[in-house]
């Protein structure tokens, strides 16, 4: 199973051109098409974003990805008087595998008046992997505010721990009939979490995701380290911006139960179709199955 993550910067390349089809053709050009694409910074009707105009990029993605089902989680969903359309900005998961459940999660947004900010969200699905149910999360954490970013990382850890506990001890399902909101649903203990975390390795937010919490084991492991050992992940942001310092802030994390299924993580360092570089995970069934 292949999962690709990419902050597409509303599909704006380093040449200033906004072109949804161009970016997605590149995303599909790494060999076999990925089963799941996780995209950040997808926009609808936000002409203030350079080159975006009034385009509904969700519709453009649907046209460019035949055979995929799309699930969009809007972190920003606004309407201003005088406008005919809502203005939305967020994360999108496109999948070619069946989806059992959709449970997007708004992330914490604590006040931090010293910096610009906007709401953030986790796009989250339970999909049918070749070996069984698997949760996939696609997110984009706060850029300017370290306090917001840390709160959001803690919420992602809580998301994983709550879901794992629910899979180990699922709710009673023999009281209410099927086809009601109480019906039995697929539970998945393990998850892939990917996106733009705006946090470098070693930062508080990064360490919150991958380090033990007291007696509790890490919620997530960095898939790059599992695949590449001690080799540091190359930068994924500002790689092709003269005068800027490139940083690694886009990651793919997996829960410990998936660790031995990580086969490869690939990074495209050369593309200039966004201000971020894409990552691709190749995942097999974990040995415990």
Q: Would you give per-residue pLDDT tens digits along the chain (289 residues)?
A: 999 999 999 999 999 999 999 999 999 998 889 999 999 999 999 999 999 999 999 999 999 999 999 999 999 999 888 888 999 999 999 999 999 999 999 999 999 999 999 999 999 999 999 999 999 999 999 999 999 999 999 999 999 999 999 999 988 888 888 899 988 889 999 999 999 999 999 999 999 999 999 999 999 999 999 999 999 999 999 999 999 999 999 999 999 999 999 999 999 999 999 999 999 999 999 987 6
* SS3 label, residue 154: helix
Q: Which residue, 53, 57, 25, 32, is CA-closest to 42?
A: 57
Q: Which residue(s) pair with 44 in the sheet?
A: 56, 88
d(CA 95, CA 33): 10
Beta strands (DSSP E) in the chain are 2-7, 36-44, 69-78, 87-95, 99-102, 105-106, 121-129, 132-140, 191-196, 221-222, 250-254, 262-267, 279-283
d(CA 59, CA 70): 10
The pLDDT score that the predictor gives to residue 289 is 63
Q: In what order do the strands lie in the sheet with 279-283?
A: 69-78, 87-95, 36-44, 2-7, 279-283, 262-267
* SS3 label, residue 222: strand
d(CA 75, CA 121): 5
The pLDDT score that the predictor gives to residue 176 is 82
Q: Does domain 2-169+181-283 have CATH number 3.60.10.10?
A: yes
């Amino acid at each position: 199973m292949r999962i690709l993550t990419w902050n597409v910067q509303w599909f704006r390349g380093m040449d200033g051109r906004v072109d949804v089809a161009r970016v997605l053709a590149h995303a599909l050009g790494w060999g076999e098409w990925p089963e799941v694409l996780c995209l950040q910074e997808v926009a609808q009707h936000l002409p203030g974003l350079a080159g975006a105009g009034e385009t509904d990029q969700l519709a453009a993605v649907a046209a460019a990805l035949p055979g995929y089902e799309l699930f969009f989680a809007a972190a920003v969903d606004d309407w201003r008087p005088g406008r005919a359309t809502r203005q939305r900005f967020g994360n999108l998961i496109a999948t070619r595998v069946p989806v059992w459940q959709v449970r997007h999660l708004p992330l914490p947004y604590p006040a931090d008046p010293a910096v610009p900010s906007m709401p953030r969200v986790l796009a989250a699905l339970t999909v049918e992997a070749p070996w069984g149910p698997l949760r996939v999360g696609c997110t984009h954490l706060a850029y300017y505010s370290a306090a917001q970013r840390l709160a959001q990382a803690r919420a992602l850890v809580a998301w994983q721990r709550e879901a794992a506990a629910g899979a180990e001890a699922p709710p009673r399902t023999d009281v209410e009939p099927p086809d009601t909101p109480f019906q039995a649903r697929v539970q998945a203990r393990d998850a892939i979490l990917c996106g733009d975390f705006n946090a470098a390795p070693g930062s508080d937010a990064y360490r919150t995701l991958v380090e033990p919490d007291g007696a509790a084991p890490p919620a997530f492991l960095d898939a790059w380290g599992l695949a590449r050992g001690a080799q540091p992940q190359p930068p994924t942001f500002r790689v092709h911006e003269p005068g800027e310092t490139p940083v690694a802030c886009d990651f793919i994390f997996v829960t410990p139960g998936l660790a031995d299924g990580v086969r490869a993580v690939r990074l495209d360092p050369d593309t200039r179709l966004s201000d971020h570089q894409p990552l691709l995970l190749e995942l097999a069934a974990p040995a415990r199955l």
